[in-house]
Amino acid sequence: MDRPSLQHRLAIVVLPLFVFLTACTQWRIDIEQPDTRLSYSSQEETEPAIAVAPGNQDRVVAAMISLGQYSRPEGRFINRGCRISYSNDGGTSWQRLLINADDFDRAEFSDPAVAMDARGVSYVSGFFHDRSDAGGFSGILPMLARIGANANQADVITFDDGTGRRFDKPHMATGEHNGDTRLYIVYTSTSATDDYERQIRVVIIDNPDALFDDTPAEPIELTSTVLAHGNHWGAQAAVGPDGEVYVGWSSFLPPLTPAVSNFQISYVKFDPERNRWSQPQQLAELGPGQALNGVLRYTRYPVFSVSHEPITRGWVFATFADQAPLYTPVTLPRAEAINALRINNQGNVVGWFKDRRTEQIAAFRRRRTETYDVFGYPEAESTVASGINEQGVVVGTFTETSGVRRGYIWRDGSYTLVYYPGSLDTHAQDIDDDGRVIGWFVRQDQKAHGFIREADGRFVQLDHPEAEHTFLKGINNAGVIVGRYINDAGMTQGFSYQNEIWSPIDIDGADAVQPVDINGHGDIAGSYSDADGNSHGFVIAGGAVTPVRYPGSSSVYLTGINDARELSGYTLDDGDAQPFVMTGFGDEQHSDIWMLRSSTGGDTWHLPVRVNNETPGDQFFPWLCTANDGSVYVAWLDRRDDPNNLLYHLYATATRLGSLTFLDEVRVTRQSSNPRKARINDDNRGFIGDYIGLACGTDGAYPAWPDLRDAPPQDIFAARLRVVER
C-alpha cells in the first residue's frame, strides 16, 4: 500500500507543535493606528484596495473608486476616477492623487486593485467604462498604473486582451520571474452576447516597466489565458514564496437566473516549474445565500493568501462569507473515486478511495488538519473504512480475492479481524469508545443479521423482531444503535435500539428510511427515498426532522454526524459519489466569515472554521493577508453591535503560526456606518462597494474599508494593526 507523502507525514508531527507553540504565548491584536480617513471628505469613494511595500511597512498605497462630486440637479456623480492615497509613515499621514477617467475619454472607473513588488513599486489595476454606451461592452477599457517606490505620481496605460469580451473585477498580484517583477491580473471575462457565460482569465506580464516606456495613447493588446469556462465571477490571486499562484473565484450553478442562489468556491494553481495551470478544483459549496439588510450587493467570492514566513512557508489560507450550511468536498491526492462514510467529533473522516495509479481500493482516515492515513487489510482485494470512534480507532470491511467480505478493526497500523462465526460475509460498520463494534453478517440462508461485537471479542446477534434482514449502522457511547431492516413485504424501515427496546424511525412521505449514525446528543442522521426514487438526507434533532439538501443535487446520502452536527455524506447525481462534509447545520440565520487552510500546497484542505464568534447579526466582506512574522490577519464588516442588523463596524482577528485558533476579535472602528446613507441607493439598499482591503507587512496589517459615519459622502478609512504579546 502506498504511504502518504513525506510532506503529509511530517505535518502529522509539525502541526501539533505549531499549535503548542502558539498556546504557550498569549497574544492580542493592538490597534497601533486608529481609524483614519484616507479620502476627501467632499467626495464619495468606495471599494478600497491596499498594499504594503515588502520590507518597508511604512510605505502603504491604497486605491479606491472616486465617485467624485455629487450633482444634485443632474442626480449623478461627476469627475469619476481612481483615487490613490499613499503614506510613507505607516498610515499616520496620507497624500492623495487622482487618475481621472476624463483623461481617457471615459466617464467612470471601477474595481481597483493594488499590489507592490519587491522594489516597492506599486501597480494599480481597474477599468474605465462609459455608461452612455447603455451598459454595453465597447466602453470597457482596462487600466494599469505604476507608482514608483518614492514617487507621488502615476504612469497610466490602457490595455485589452483582444477577445472582444467584457472585463470585470481585474484583481492583481505580484511575483518574481527570472529576477524581474511579474504581474498576474485575473478577471472575469463576460460574453458580449450572454451575460451568464463568464470565464476566469489571467494576463501575465513579465517586466511590466517596459509597458510604460512610451506610455502609448492607444490600448496595448496583451495575451490572456482562460482558467475556467462556465459561469464564474470575482477572481482573486495570491503568489507563494516559490512563484506558485493560486486563483480563486465564485462559480454560479445552474439554473442560471438573475437571482442566482447557489454558489461554489473554486480555484486553480499555477506551477512555475512546469509553467502550467491546474484544472479547476472545488473548494466549497456555499449555502442558499441571502440578501443583506440595507446592502445593495453582497459578494461571495474568496480571498486567498500564501504565507512566506519560514515555519509556515507555502501554506495557503482562504476566507469568504457564507450563510450556513457550508459544504466542503472530501478529497485525497490521486483519488480517481472517493467516498466518505463517517465523521467523529475531531472532524476525522473515514471512507475509501480508488487510487488512479494502482486502481486499488483502499481505506483512509483523513484528519480535520489535512493529514491522512491510507491503509489496506493485508492481502485484501479492497478495503473500506466505515466507522471511527473518538480515539481514532477505525472499523470497516475488506474483500478477499475470493470475494468473501470480512470486518476489521484498525488501530494505527495493527489489524484485528472481525468475523461472525459461521458467516459467509461480515460487515463491520461502527465502533464506540468502549470498543464495541456493530454491523451485520450473512449466513447460508442469505439473510442479513445484525451483530454486536463486545470489546472482549464476544459476538451477540441482534435482529429486529419484524425483519427478514437487519442492518446495524451506527452506535453512540450511550449504547443507542440505529439502522434499518427489511420486512417480509420488502419494505425498508428505520429504527433505533437501546436496552432491548426497538423504536421506529419514520419520516412523512418517505418510501424507505435508512438511519446511519447517531451522535452523543442523540441526533440521528440518515437518508430517505421518495416516491420518485430520489434520495434526501435528514437529521432528527430534538424530535424534529430536518431535510438536508445539497445545492443543485437530487440525490443526497448522509453517512455520519458528530456532536457538533457536522455531517458527512455524498451525492450521486453524475453516477459517481461526490463526498462532502457539511458545517453549520441549523445555523442559517446570518452570514458568517469562514476560513480554509492547506499546508500541503492545495492537495488537502483543513475543514472550514468559523472566524467570527457566534454572535447575532451579519458578517460580510472579509479579506485576509499573511504577515512575515507568521500572523494571518482577517478583517470584515460586522453588525453584531446593532440589534436591528443594519449598522456595521469593522472587526478583525488573527492567528499565529498556521493555527486556526483565532485571537480575541477587536472592533477597529470607533463609529458605526449605516449603508442606507450611501448616495447610490436602490429600494433603501445602499451601494458600499463589493469588497474591503487588507494588506500585511513585516509584523502588522492595514485594513481599509468603506465608511459612512459622516455620510454623505461615503469615505474610505484605514487603520494599522499588530499582533503583540499580552
The set of long-range contacts for 372-379, using a CB threshold of 8 Å and a minimum separation of 24, is 372/4, 372/8, 372/332, 372/604, 373/4, 373/412, 374/1, 374/2, 374/3, 374/4, 374/332, 375/1, 375/410, 375/413, 376/1, 377/406, 377/408, 377/415, 378/415
Question: For position 500, what pLDDT does the model report?
Answer: 95
CA distance 188 to 234: 6
- Summarised one tens digit per residue, pLDDT across range 522-553 is 999 999 998 888 899 999 998 899 999 888 78
Inform me whether the pLDDT recorded for 131 exceeds 70: no
111 & 86 share domain: yes
401 & 547 share domain: yes
- Write b or e for each residue in 90-120: b if 16 or more Cβ atoms lie within 10 A of its Cβ, otherwise e: bbeebeeebbbbeebebbbbbbbbbbbbeeb
Q: Within a domain: residue 277?
A: no
Q: Within a domain: residue 316?
A: yes
Q: Within a domain: residue 272?
A: no
Angle at 536 between CA 535 and CA 541, to 5 degrees: 145
Unique residue bearing C-alpha cell 479620502: 39
Question: For position 78, what pLDDT does the model report?
Answer: 66
Question: For position 683, what pLDDT does the model report?
Answer: 86
Q: Within a domain: residue 278?
A: no
Inform me whether the pLDDT recorded for 12 exceeds 70: no
441 & 573 share domain: yes
350 & 373 share domain: yes
Final residue of a domain: which of 257, 278, 301?
257
CA distance 167 to 252: 18
CA distance 498 to 484: 14
Question: For position 134, what pLDDT does the model report?
Answer: 43
Q: Within a domain: residue 612?
A: yes
Inform me whether the pLDDT recorded for 258 exceeds 70: no
Question: For position 73, what pLDDT does the model report?
Answer: 63
Question: For position 16, what pLDDT does the model report?
Answer: 52
Inform me whether the pLDDT recorded for 378 exceeds 70: yes
Q: Is the pTM of this model over 0.85?
A: yes
- Summarised one tens digit per residue, pLDDT across range 337-370 is 999 999 999 999 999 999 999 999 999 999 999 9
C-alpha cell at position 655: 492567528
547 & 603 share domain: no
Provide the domain limits for residue 607. Answer: 1-37+286-324+587-726
24 & 82 share domain: no
Give all strands of the β-sheet with 27-37 in edge-to-edge order: 27-37, 715-725, 701-707, 693-696
Question: For position 44, what pLDDT does the model report?
Answer: 85
Inform me whether the pLDDT recorded for 254 exceeds 70: no
573 & 628 share domain: no
Q: Within a domain: residue 636?
A: yes
In the chain, % of residues over pLDDT 70: 92
What is the count of structural domains for the chain?
A: 3
600-621 average pLDDT score: 93
Closest among 695, 631, 650, 636 to 27, alpha carbons compared: 631
CA 649 to chain centre: 23
Q: Which residue has the higher pLDDT, 543 or 192?
A: 543
Question: For position 69, what pLDDT does the model report?
Answer: 67
Give the pLDDT band of residue 201 (cuts 50, 70, 90): very high
Inform me whether the pLDDT recorded for 215 exceeds 80: no
Inform me whether the pLDDT recorded for 212 exceeds 80: yes
C-alpha cell at position 226: 482562460
CA distance 650 to 671: 9
114 & 220 share domain: yes
Residue 204's domain is classified under what CATH number?
2.120.10.10
Q: Is the dihedral of CA 695, 697, 699, 702 positive or negative?
A: negative
Inform me whether the pLDDT recorded for 183 exceeds 60: yes
Question: For position 571, what pLDDT does the model report?
Answer: 94
- Summarised one tens digit per residue, pLDDT across range 323-339 is 888 999 999 999 999 99
172 & 137 share domain: yes
Inform me whether the pLDDT recorded for 18 exceeds 70: no
- Reported in sequence order, the residue ranges of 88-179 that DSSP labels E, i.e. its strands, are 95-100, 108-116, 122-129, 141-147, 155-160, 166-177
137-152 average pLDDT score: 85
- Reported in sequence order, the residue ranges of 344-393 that DSSP labels E, i.e. its strands, are 349-355, 361-366, 372-375, 382-388
Give the pLDDT band of residue 425 (cuts 50, 70, 90): very high
Final residue of a domain: which of 583, 606, 622?
583
- Summarised one tens digit per residue, pLDDT across range 618-675 is 999 999 999 999 999 999 999 999 999 999 999 999 999 999 999 999 999 999 999 9
- Summarised one tens digit per residue, pLDDT across range 446-481 is 999 999 999 999 999 999 999 999 999 999 999 999
187-202 average pLDDT score: 88
* Cβ atoms 452, 474 nearer than 8 A: no
Inform me whether the pLDDT recorded for 691 exceeds 70: yes
Provide the mean pLDDT of the chain.
91
Question: For position 364, what pLDDT does the model report?
Answer: 98
Question: For position 288, what pLDDT does the model report?
Answer: 64
Closest among 714, 715, 680, 28 to 295, alpha carbons compared: 680
Q: Within a domain: residue 281?
A: no
440 & 512 share domain: yes
Q: Which residue has the higher pLDDT, 102 or 63?
A: 63
C-alpha cell at position 208: 511590466
Q: Within a domain: residue 273?
A: no
75 & 19 share domain: no
Inform me whether the pLDDT recorded for 42 exceeds 70: yes
Residue 147 falls in which region: left (phi positive, over 0), alpha (psi -120 to 50) or beta: beta
622 & 696 share domain: yes
Main-chain phi, psi angles of 269, to 5 degrees: -130, 140
Unique residue bearing C-alpha cell 480535520: 368
